[in-house]
Amino acid sequence: MRRLILLVALMTLSACSAGPWTRLTSSLEADRLVREGNAQLRAGNPSAAVRTLDDVVRRFPDAPIHDQALYDLARALVLTTNGGREYRQAAAHLDRLLRDYPTSQHAADARALRIALGAYVARTAELDRLIDRLKAIDLEFERPRQP
């Protein structure tokens, strides 16, 4: 009988502590993955870092390191060679960091990077419009003229 009471008490205590234990292991896993993502960035593999850090951002939104994961993901996206699309995604992650974590230690750097990305994306869009205009002018000159 004593063993049964002890078993029930232990099961009750372990059920009560499942929440904090899960949060702790999730936090540790998020920390490990952010370190791994940063190591991938340092090793010159931003595409792998994007996959790892995106996983952290999606799976661990309540982790204490979530703000760093957002910032590092934005940096990794900027370092990929795919250009404009990733810059817009990076800007979105920086906006989220600044909205959700305004007092983060990464907030000042995130603001600066966001400004630079915004200027680059705007300038790229302007250049794309100019290229399209030049193509149209070029086609106009190639058309045969009517006498």
As given in the structure block, the two tokens for residue 98 are: 């600044």
Contact 69, 60 (CB under 8 A): yes
| Rounded Cα distance, 70 and 58, in Å | 10
| Rounded Cα distance, 104 and 136, in Å | 48
Kindly report the average pLDDT of the chain as a whole number: 84
Confidence of residue 111 (pLDDT cuts 50, 70, 90): very high
Across 33-43, average pLDDT: 95
pTM, whole model, 2 decimals? 0.71
pLDDT digits (tens, 9 = 90+) for 119-132: 887 888 788 888 98
Q: Which of 3-7, 63-67, 71-75 has the lowest mean pLDDT?
A: 3-7
Contact 76, 69 (CB under 8 A): no
* Per-residue burial over 107-128, b = 16 or more CB atoms within 10 Å of its CB, e = otherwise: beebeebbeebeeeeeeeeeee
| Rounded Cα distance, 25 and 13, in Å | 18
Q: Is the pLDDT of residue 16 over 60?
A: no
Question: What pLDDT score was predicted for residue 118?
Answer: 86
Contact 41, 79 (CB under 8 A): yes
Q: Could you give the C-alpha distances from 3 to 6, 7, 8, 78, 112, in angstroms and in order?
A: 5, 6, 9, 60, 62
pLDDT digits (tens, 9 = 90+) for 67-92: 999 999 999 999 886 656 788 899 99
Task: Tally the residues of the chain.
Answer: 147
Question: What pLDDT score was predicted for residue 39?
Answer: 96
